């Protein structure tokens, strides 16, 4: 019996390290520069997603709004929260652009067309971004130490993954033009 104890102990240690320790160790965690509340902006200010994350005239997606957009309303405090005061004192007043950490940023070799998915396919923002738009706080940004990619590429918490296989799966399920079923796939649709 004693002969196998060490083997079992090793297996348990390996399982523990792999399931519990590894996910903690593989990611670095960094807070966003400002604790932005989507919930406050949606509920109190009545803002919709596209009010801040809109499209430009040429159809390209503007992404995370710049300081200019935020300063349009927050040149002076609109509430009494510490987060807003911190934002105005450290960014709006000195005119310093916050270095937001994007959870859903694609790698350099890929382009995701927001306008195709939002305007043409009529997808709702939350179908890909989960409940981000109703959260009261911004999650810390978790980055894989080895690959350098955001943890969000694996999906979870109501969000689909962002790997190529996830794109293909969704296109197959939706049977959209350009899917494998239609027999029309073009690398250059997404890869640049």
Partner 1 sequence: MTTRRELFKFAGGSAMGLLLTPAPWRLITDTALWSENWPGIPRPARGEIRAKFTHCGLCAAGCAVRARCVGEQPVSLAGVEGGLCPFGVTGHHLPYHPERLKEGNRQEAAAAMAAAAMAAAVSHSTPERRVAVLDLRPGRTASWTYRRAMAAIPNGCYLAPEEPACAVNLAAAATVLSLGAPLLDGWGRLSRVFAARPNFRLIQAEAVESRTAALADQWLAVQPGTETVLGRAVAGQIGTQQAAEVTGLAAEQIEQVARALRENGPALIVAPEMTSEVLAWNLPLGGWGKTVLPRREAPVPGNWGKAAPVTDWATLKDGSLGALLIDESVPGAHLPWATIQPKLAADAVVVAFAWSRAGYARHATHVLPTAVYPEALGDLPAAIDATAAEFRLTVPLVAAPGGMTDPVELVSAMAGLDAKDALHERAAAIYAAGRGSLRTYADGKSTAVKELKPDDFWKGLNAGGSWTGGPENCGPAPKLKEAAWPEEDTGALWPFRLATEQPGAATLVAPLMAKLSQESRLRLAPHSAAMHPRDGFEEGARLVLETPYGRCPIVAALDESVPPGVVLVADGPEIADIRSADGRARVVRI
Can you give the binding site for partner 1, defined by CB under 8 A?
A: 3, 6-19, 22, 26, 56-61, 107-109, 111, 144, 146-149, 188, 192
Nearer to partner 1, 75 or 110 (CB): 110
Looking at 39-178, which runs of residues are DSSP E strands? 141-144
Q: Measured from the CB of residue 84, what is the shortest distance to partner 1 in angstroms?
A: 27
d(CA 56, CA 62): 6
d(CA 85, CA 64): 20
Q: Measured from the CB of residue 145, what is the shortest distance to partner 1 in angstroms?
A: 8
- Report the SS3 class of residue 154: helix
62, two tokens: 């503007």
The one-character DSSP state at 185 is -
Nearer to partner 1, 9 or 45 (CB): 9
Nearer to partner 1, 83 or 121 (CB): 121
Q: Measured from the CB of residue 11, what is the shortest distance to partner 1 in angstroms?
A: 4
d(CA 91, CA 69): 12
188, two tokens: 């250059």
Q: Measured from the CB of residue 62, what is the shortest distance to partner 1 in angstroms?
A: 9
- Report the SS3 class of residue 191: strand
123, two tokens: 């997808």
Q: Measured from the CB of residue 63, what is the shortest distance to partner 1 in angstroms?
A: 8
């Amino acid at each position: 019996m004693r002969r196998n104890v060490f083997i079992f102990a090793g297996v348990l240690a390996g399982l523990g390290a792999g399931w519990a320790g590894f996910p903690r160790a593989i990611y670095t965690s960094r807070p966003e520069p400002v604790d932005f509340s989507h919930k406050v902006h949606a509920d109190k200010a009545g803002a919709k997603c596209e009010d801040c994350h809109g499209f430009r005239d040429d159809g390209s997606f503007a992404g995370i709004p710049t300081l200019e957009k935020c300063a349009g309303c927050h040149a002076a405090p609109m509430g009494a929260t510490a987060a807003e005061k911190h934002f105005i004192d450290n960014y709006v007043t000195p005119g310093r652009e916050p270095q937001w950490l994007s959870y859903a940023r694609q790698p350099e070799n890929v382009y995701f067309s927001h306008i195709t998915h939002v305007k043409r396919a009529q997808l709702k923002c939350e179908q890909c971004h989960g409940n981000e738009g109703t959260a009261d706080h911004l999650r810390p940004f978790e980055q894989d130490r080895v690959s350098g990619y955001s943890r969000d590429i694996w999906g979870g918490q109501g969000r689909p993954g962002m790997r190529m296989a996830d794109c293909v799966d969704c296109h197959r399920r939706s049977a959209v033009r350009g899917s494998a079923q239609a027999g029309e796939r073009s690398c250059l649709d997404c890869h640049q």
